[in-house]
Structure formats: C-alpha cells, structure tokens
Chains A and B, each alone.
Chain A
Amino acid sequence: MNSIAKTLSKAIIANWLNIILGVMSLETFLILWSLYSGWLHGDWVFSGRHRSTSAEFLPYPWDVLSAFAQSFTVRDPVNNLYMTSHMYASLKRIFFGFVLAFCLAVPLGLLMGRSKSAEAIGKPILELFRPIPPLAWAPLFLVALKFFWGPIAIVFLGVFFPILLNVILGAKSVDPMLIDAARALGARRRDVFAKVVLPYTLPYIMTGVTVGLGVGWMCIVAAEMLGAVGGGVGGYIYNMVYQEGMYDKVYAGMAVIGLLSVLTTGVAALFEQRLTRWMGMK
C-alpha cells in the first residue's frame, strides 16, 4: 500500500510540476515582451531612453488584449464591421472551400488508391499541380473568379491536396489480408469497398482534414489580404497595418486567426477521436 501511495503522489507531483513549468514559460514570455516594449517605448527603467521610431510596431501585451476585446464591441474604422462579422466572413470561405475539397478529394483519393489505372491517369496531373503553392493561384483566382468564389477556390486548393494525398496513402495501405478475409466471407467488390477499404481509410482522411485545415487558414488570410471584399480577419489585419497603422489591432487580428484555427482543428480532432473510439481503433 505504502509503495502505491508513494508512486501515486510522485505522479501527482510530476503532473503539477509540468503545469507550473508551462505557466512559468508563458509568464516569462509575457514579461520579456513587456520589457522589450518598454525598452522601445522608453518606459520604466528605460525612461532615460528616447522612444524608438519602431516602438509602435510592438505594443504592450495589455494593449493588444484590450484591442482584442474592443474589436468585438467597437466597429473597425475601415470596413465598419465588428470582429464577429470578420470571423463569419473568413469561416464561411473556409467552410465552402473545405466542403468542396473534401467531397472531391475523398472519392478521388479512394479511386486512385485502389485502382491502378485510375492512379496511372491521375498521378501525372497530380504531380504537375501539387508542387505549385496554392497561393501562387491567388491573384489569378481573385481576378478570374471574383471576390466570392476566388478566396473559396484558393482555400479549396489548400485543403484539397493534403486530403487527397492522405486518402491515396490510406487506400493503398489497406491490409490485403483483410480484403482476402472479406472476400472469403462472401464480400463482393462493393462490400469490400464499403466495409473494409472505407473504414480502414477513415483515420487517414481525418489526418488529411487536420493538415488541410491548417493550410486552408494560411490560404484564407493571404487571399483576404490580396483584396477579398466583404470583411474577413485577414483583410482586417491588412487594413489595420496599411490604412490605419493600428498595430495593437493587428496583433488582435492575429490572435483571432490563431483562435479560429485552433477551433476548427479542435473540432476535427474531436470528431476524429469520437470516430476512432466508436470504431474501436484507439
């Protein structure tokens, strides 16, 4: 009993220690940030210093925090929108781009992963377009597809390839013995597909989704900066820099993007967890 209690208390202490270390790391970061800002601004112990010209680029953490809070209660000076409207605009683009990419990439990936001739046909095209970064298309898409479909198309490209590549990988790696087992149990081609290939590939699909969402957010910010109209967090960041020079709001916009990205990948991860647990894979 004594040794069990000892191991337990050791584990609890180790756990707390990790939490304390994490908090300390964040605290140190904020302190260093404040100190550097203070140095640039010529405040506190640095009061003998002149205020640097670049001081405006690095506002204090608490200024960023208040700008963050304010962006939800006060309309921004360029688009006259609340932050929630910007978030909605960005989320909408991500959503449409993502859904389109998902619906196309999954069946295509399954086909290319399971059929040699489909792979022979699809591979050259895939290898032709894959190395082109989705953002290289951005200016063209915005001009050609206009401001509604343009950003969606850019997100689509960003999400499409990670999902497609993962699904191909997953469909290819299906254990041939499981397919043999299914066939020996009387499964026809479509049974093998629906009951073996698809469930086997699900975790790979989810990996593609998580990676794709990350790339998707990268794309949406850039697309919005390139001039997508109708709001969007990326456009907000751009405007705050180039039209207003409100750098605290710039950092607030960055925080919002980070939070949204965490939110969407979090939803995907939760979904994946549920799925794999339900399937008994984890």
Chain B
Amino acid sequence: MDGNEVTISLKHLRKSFTKNRDVVQALDDFNLDVNQGEFVCLLGPSGCGKTTVLRIVAGLESASEGDAVVGGKKVTSAGPDRGMVFQEFALFPWRTVRKNIEFGLEVKGVPEDQRSRTSSQLIDLVGLKGFEDAHPKELSGGMKQRVGIARALANEPAVLLMDEPFGSLDAQTRNLMQKELLRIWSATGKTILFVTHSVDEAVFLADRIVVMTARPGKVREDVRVELPRPRDRTSREFIEVRGKVLEELDEEFEKARAKELSPD
C-alpha cells in the first residue's frame, strides 16, 4: 500500500432535496480525497449531511451536482466495489449468519463451495466462529455488526463505508468493536470512510477527521491524527486532539442550533 493513491474523490458535491415543499440544501460544495488504505472519519452535527455523503459514495443516492469517483470510476449506482455497513445493521432476518455474509457472492453467481470457503474465512476474521447457523435475532448488537462488517467484506470491496456502525451499541461493546475494527482494518488494508458524531470515536479510530459544517454541509476542517496506535484514551495527546476537534464541532453545533431556533 503506497498510501498516496486517491481511492475516493469527491468533487464539488451538492445535494438538495424537497421536504414539505421546502428545498433543503444538504450539501454545498463538498470536497474530499481519501487515499488508499486510509481511515477517514466524517464528523459533524446531526443533520449536516454526513450520511448523505456516504450514501452518495455508495451510490444509494445521487448528488444534485458534482462527482463522486471511487477507484477511478465515476459512481453512477450502488455496486459491490463499495461495501456498506449500517447503523441498524440491516441484516436479513430470515438468513443465517453465514447466508447473510454470502449474500453478495450469491448475487454475483459465485459457486457454493467457493462461497462457503469465503464466508468461513470472514467468520474467523470477525470472530463469529460457532455462530454460523444462528439467525440475527439470536445475536447481540455487537455480534450483529460483526456480521454486517463480514457481509460488506465478502465482496472484497476497495472501500468500506460505515454509517455510524457502532451508534446503537452500549459503551463497552462500542469500545470493543472499535478495537476489533482497527484489527480488521490492519488485516485487510481497506480504505474506510466512517461517519460518526462521536468525537471520542473519531479520535480513537481515524487517520484523518473531517469536521463538517452545519447544514448545508461542507468541509470545515481536515484534522490529521498523528497519534500512534493503539491509542490511549487517557493520554495527554489524545485528550489534546479530542479537545481541539470538540471545539470545532461545538461551534458548528451552536450554529446549527441557532439556525433551528430562527428559521428563515
């Protein structure tokens, strides 16, 4: 991994949609380059459009203006070259763990023996051995998200798009899953674009933290986190970075709130 090749390139993204006959500007000239193998966190006040950015990269939504380019190809629709992990897991409840993981391969027409070989490897990687034949409802939140990650990895995507993947987990599980994700990341070398509203999570995980402005969302600050891994949440350096990012975010949060209180 040379780390200099741009994998995700977002140029002048604009997105507006209508809500109750009002036009809402979600994104306004959003620009971002993510290098190969990089772990980038999108951070911003709620409603700032960070999920919209992710969904545009995934091809689940289209930008009103501007281009999203992934791996040199312009994004026109959803595709298996970009794996997506959802906050609410979005597992297929009627499929077992193994069958959930194999979904993408099935759709691609990969033969069964090869499918099960891949899913077995991924089950090992995310630590779900022994739960192959369990259904999602039998799993805890953390385990469900392990399935979600394995399922996204099965297609061997160039990038992993994660939409607040640990947002609905309790604090302990969340911390554990963050460590697990870093382990999986270093094992697979994927490029990760990770949406969160937790400063702590972003500082713990990311190579770069992209702080977004309040709606309409654009890049306010691109913070490089140089701390060595594994990061210690109680170290002085960690708290310093955290404080700096928090300050940026607080300002945007105040702006968002002021806007909410005085609608134009």
| Chain A residues within 8 Å of B, Cβ to Cβ | 175, 177-178, 180-188, 191, 195-196, 199-200, 279-281
For the complex, what is the distance from the CA of A195 to the CA of B107, rounded to whole Å? 9
In the complex, the answer to whether A185 meets B96 with C-beta atoms within 8 Å is no
In the complex, the answer to whether B78 meets A183 with C-beta atoms within 8 Å is yes
In the complex, the answer to whether B95 meets A185 with C-beta atoms within 8 Å is no
Q: How many of B's residues come within 8 Å of A, CB to CB? A: 32
For the complex, what is the distance from the CA of A175 to the CA of B155, rounded to whole Å? 22
- B24 sits at the interface (CB 8 A): no
For the complex, what is the distance from the CA of A184 to the CA of B91, rounded to whole Å? 12
Which of B80, B92, B93, B152 has the largest number of chain A CB atoms within 10 A? Answer: B92
For the complex, what is the distance from the CA of A196 to the CA of B107, rounded to whole Å? 12
In the complex, the answer to whether B79 meets A186 with C-beta atoms within 8 Å is yes
Q: A residues within 8 A CB of B107?
A: 182, 185-188, 191, 195
Main secondary structure of the interface of B (DSSP, over half): loop
Q: What is the chain A residue whose CB lies nearest that of B94?
A: A279
- B82 sits at the interface (CB 8 A): yes
19 A-B contacts (beta carbon < 8 Å): A177-B86, A177-B88, A180-B84, A182-B107, A183-B59, A184-B58, A184-B80, A184-B161, A185-B80, A185-B104, A185-B152, A186-B79, A186-B104, A186-B107, A188-B107, A199-B92, A280-B94, A280-B135, A281-B93
Q: What is the chain B residue whose CB lies nearest that of A196?
A: B92
For the complex, what is the distance from the CA of A19 to the CA of B104, rounded to whole Å? 50
B84 partner, pick from A175, A184, A191, A196, beta carbons under 8 A = A184
Q: What is the chain B residue whose CB lies nearest that of A280?
A: B135
A180-B92 CB under 8 A given contacts A185-B107, A187-B107: no
Chain B window 86-105, contacts with chain A (Cβ cutoff 8 Å), 1 for yes, 0 for no = 10101111111000000110
Q: A residues within 8 A CB of B77?
A: 183
- B227 sits at the interface (CB 8 A): no
CB distance from A201 to the nearest CB of B (A): 11
A186-B155 CB under 8 A given contacts A180-B84, A181-B84: yes
Q: A residues within 8 A CB of B93?
A: 280-281
